[in-house]
Amino acid sequence: MWVYYPFVYSFYLSLTSWNLLSPNINFVGLQNYINLLQNPAFHQVVFNTFLFTLGTVFVRLAISLGLAILLNQNLFLRSLWRLIIFSPHITTSAAMALVWLSMYDPNYGPFSALFSLFGLDFPNVMASTELALPALIVVAIWKGLGFSTIVFLAALQSVSNDLLDAASVDGANAWQSFWAVTFPAISPVTYFLVVTGMIGAFQTFDIVSVMTGGGPVNATNLYVFSLYREAFHYNRMGYASAIAVIFFVVMMIFTFVQTRLANRWVTYS
């Protein structure tokens, strides 16, 4: 009732024109999908979401893996560093977005103060069509960094020391041991973080809503935020439902491709 019926009904609504308030629902067939595919603004949303996903997931995973390797060493106050890195993950997204919005302030933010020490002006990134999306990517990376790091750290601690010792005896250096032993051992965790990270990036809504509202000039309008705005700002429920159906199809294709590709690089034994 609460999952499958709304899903089927959403598909039905994608074939209609309905303003969410009127009792009359007009059937329009595939017109919503045709309008979507012909709409340059929708093309921009797809492109923004694609860039945001790539920047968020793969940059974050690279940094997380490096931090996990570092935190796996015998560092001074290691538990404290782990807590500090993980803490953004439990921070409320809306509150976090407001803090970052103040940090990006070109007049009073800490970045502006840092730039002024070198005689430079910090740009108004939230008003820049070139810088607004990278600024959101930085926020998303910071938000998810702790979770990915802790998961990688748990995976690193499960790598067999016997395998690492055997690689060392065979003459492998640290880099060769990582690629031949450590990375294959943590590949299932890496696969998990890639899949969940990309799905989460596609579903990003809160930081866009709080920080940019999709602007400036559609530069940070991401997929789910666009769906929300079409449905509840413009009251075009049929159009929004078509966006949702396309989103579902894209996620299904992505999951299928990832599952097939996983057999080539993920090692479970």
Question: Tell me: the pLDDT tens digits for 182-230?
Answer: 999 999 999 999 999 998 999 999 999 999 999 888 999 999 999 999 9
Looking at the whole model, is its pTM more than 0.85? yes
What does 100-156 look like in DSSP terms, one character per residue? HHHHT-TTTSHHHHHHHHTT-PPP-GGG-TTTHHHHHHHHHHHHHHHHHHHHHHHHH
Closest by Cα among 219, 75, 37, 193 to 135: 219
Residue 23 per-residue DSSP state: S
User: Residue 269 pLDDT > 70, yes or no?
Assistant: no
| pLDDT per residue as tens digits for the range 70-82 | 998 887 888 888 8
The CA distance from 205 to 227, in Å, is 10
Look at strands 26-27 and 16-17 and give their pairing.
antiparallel
- Find how far residue 231's CA is from the centre of its chain: 22
Confidence (pLDDT) at 112: 93
The CA distance from 261 to 259, in Å, is 6
**Which sequence spans correspond to the domains of the chain?**
31-265
- With cut-offs at 50, 70 and 90, classify the pLDDT of residue 243: very high
CA 258-259-262 angle, 5° bins: 80
Tokens found for residue 172: 């492998």
Tokens found for residue 180: 């031949």
Q: Which pairs with CB-CB distance under 8 Å and at least 24 residues apart come from 241-249?
A: 241/10, 241/11, 241/13, 241/14, 241/16, 241/32, 242/14, 242/32, 242/33, 242/36, 243/36, 243/42, 244/10, 244/14, 245/10, 245/11, 245/14, 246/33, 246/36, 247/202, 247/223, 248/7
Domain 31-265 class in CATH: mainly alpha
